[in-house]
């Protein structure tokens, strides 16, 4: 019987204990998932934080000593996550702290861990098999480390910004749930931590609007502008055939991250999850194989391109910088036959894919074909040569079913 099974046997007794003192009160919380890409209905995912009794046995309430330094951590908070319709909550984390001074911090870390569990479960279908121990260490330099099935946060007595706490916890959790990709020479050997921190915090802050999870708000716009958009657009600018893809330094890692962020934005989390589950080799240069394998699953009934995410544009004369005569977009086109439609105040009258004109349909759209079984990163160029300048609100590809 493993630790999770033993924990299940103790859950009812744990939750039925008399109410604790105010400073150790049990806490419930939830993550409201509003992202329409997950479901057409709002989803609520709950958790409960339960302080372990001081004399609680390690086998049930988590170890008292950490696995790396064998240091005694007398204070523990357990994190239980209850899926909808499931009567028995799952123990997912134990947050360990050294002193009562860290009680508030431990509670915040526990909330973030619970939210990360639900984001990973709903967006990627991934979470650690066994409960994760999170150790709030007062030694070392400020930072974190994933060690076995544990997460360490170091020098927790040193203040840092709320955004940095979220980033560090998400980074180390990502090392436990995402496949390693590398090796890179810098900033660290594996890219899964830096990729995951961006995905998890984008889903938390931007896509579901939960900016107050830590307490003080973390602004979604600032995070996306500095940590998401530059790398996503850099990949689109350079393209998958760039020599940067072969680099093993920080530029190479950020190029790989940008490609994954571009896929998530245009094709959605279900497709990204399929790509991640098909990463069979850590070499980032083999990512194309996973992308192509996922495309054969037919998980993409449609995808949108952001009208403003151009890699080239020719503005129309006049003061309106959002009006274009020509605009180009880099995208991944899965195999099959696709209908292209554009909506806006001004729409294109010409469309090419990799320089070849697309077939015009009677309804004003176009048909794009990609021979199976391989998809391809392509450049779509839209132009308005005779009509009014383009002011696009939507660029959508829809898979043809017949």
Domain match, 261 and 330 both: no
Choosing from 261, 295, 329, the residue where a domain stops is: 295
| 332 plus 348 within the same structural domain | yes
| 388 and 326 housed in the same domain | yes
HEC readout, the chain:
CCHHHHHHHHHHHHHCCCCCCHHHCCEEEEEEECCCCCCCCCEEEEEEEEECCCCCCHHHHCCCECCCCCCECCEEEEEEEECCCCCCCEEEEEEEECCHHHHHHHHHHHHHHHHHHHHHHHHHCCCCCCCEEEEECCCCCCEEEEECCEEEEECCCCCCCHHHHHHHHHHHHHHHHCCCCECCCCCCCECHHHHHHHHHHHHHHHHCCCCCCCCCCCCHHHHHHHHHHHHHHHHHHHCCCCHHHHCCCHHHHHHHHHHHHHHHHHHCHHHHHHHHHCCCCCCHHHHHHHHHHHHCCCCCCEEEECCCCCCEEEECCCCCCCCEEEEEEEEEECCEEEEEEEEEEECCCEEEECCEECEECCCCCEEEEECCCCCEEEEEEEECCCCCCEEEEEEEEEECCC
pLDDT in tens, the chain (402 residues): 455 554 544 444 444 443 333 344 358 999 999 999 999 999 999 999 999 887 767 777 889 999 999 999 999 999 999 876 676 788 999 999 999 999 999 999 999 999 999 999 999 999 999 999 999 999 999 999 999 999 999 999 999 999 999 999 999 999 999 999 999 999 999 999 999 999 999 999 999 999 999 999 999 999 999 999 999 999 999 998 899 999 999 999 999 999 999 999 988 999 999 999 999 889 998 888 888 888 777 667 888 888 888 888 888 665 555 688 999 999 888 888 899 999 988 889 999 998 899 999 998 899 988 765 556 788 999 999 888 899 899 999 998 886
What CATH number has the domain bearing residue 384? 2.60.120
Residue ending a domain, choose from 134, 158, 182: 158
In a domain, 134, yes or no: yes
Q: In this structure, are 119 and 83 located in the same domain?
A: yes
Where among 276, 295, 314 does a domain terminate? 295
Same domain, 16 and 120: yes
**Residue 187 resides in a domain:** no
Judgement on whether residues 306 and 269 belong to the same structural domain of the protein: no
Structural domains of the chain, count: 3
* 69: containing domain: 3-158
């Amino acid at each position: 019987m493993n630790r999770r099974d033993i924990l299940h046997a103790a859950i009812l007794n744990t939750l039925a204990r008399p109410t604790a003192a105010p400073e150790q009160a049990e806490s419930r919380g939830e993550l409201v998932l509003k992202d329409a890409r997950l479901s057409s209905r709002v989803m609520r995912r709950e958790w409960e934080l339960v302080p372990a009794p001081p004399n609680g046995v390690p086998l049930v309430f988590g170890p008292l000593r950490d696995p790396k330094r064998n240091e005694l951590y007398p204070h523990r908070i357990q994190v239980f996550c209850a899926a909808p319709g499931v009567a028995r909550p799952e123990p997912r984390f134990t947050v360990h702290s050294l002193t009562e001074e860290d009680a508030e911090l431990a509670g915040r870390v526990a909330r973030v861990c619970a939210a990360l569990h639900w984001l990973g479960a709903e967006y990627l279908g991934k979470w650690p098999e066994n409960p994760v121990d999170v150790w709030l260490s007062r030694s070392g330099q400020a930072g974190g480390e994933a060690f076995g099935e544990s997460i360490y946060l170091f020098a927790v007595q040193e203040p840092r910004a709320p955004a940095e706490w979220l980033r560090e916890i998400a980074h180390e959790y990502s090392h436990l749930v995402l496949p390693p990709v590398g090796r890179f020479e810098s900033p660290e050997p594996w890219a899964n931590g830096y990729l995951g921190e961006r995905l998890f915090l984008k889903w938390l802050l931007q896509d579901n609007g939960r900016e107050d999870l830590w307490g003080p708000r973390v602004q979604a716009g600032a995070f996306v502008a500095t940590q998401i958009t530059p790398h996503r657009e850099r990949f689109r600018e350079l393209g998958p055939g760039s020599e940067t893809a072969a680099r093993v330094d920080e530029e190479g890692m950020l190029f790989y991250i940008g490609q994954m962020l571009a896929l998530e934005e245009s094709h959605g989390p279900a497709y990204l999850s399929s790509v991640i589950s098909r990463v069979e080799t850590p070499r980032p240069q083999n990512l194309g194989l996973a992308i192509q394998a996922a495309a054969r699953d037919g998980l993409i009934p449609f995808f949108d391109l952001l009208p403003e995410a151009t890699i080239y544009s020719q503005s129309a004369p006049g003061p309106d910088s959002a009006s274009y005569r020509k605009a180009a977009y880099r995208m991944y086109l899965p195999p099959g036959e696709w209908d292209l439609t554009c909506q806006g105040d001004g729409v294109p009258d010409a469309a090419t894919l990799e320089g070849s004109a697309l077939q015009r349909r009677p309804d004003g759209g176009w048909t794009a074909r990609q021979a199976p079984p391989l998809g391809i990163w392509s450049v779509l160029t839209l132009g308005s040569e005779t009509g009014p300048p383009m002011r696009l609100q939507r660029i959508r590809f829809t898979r043809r079913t017949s």
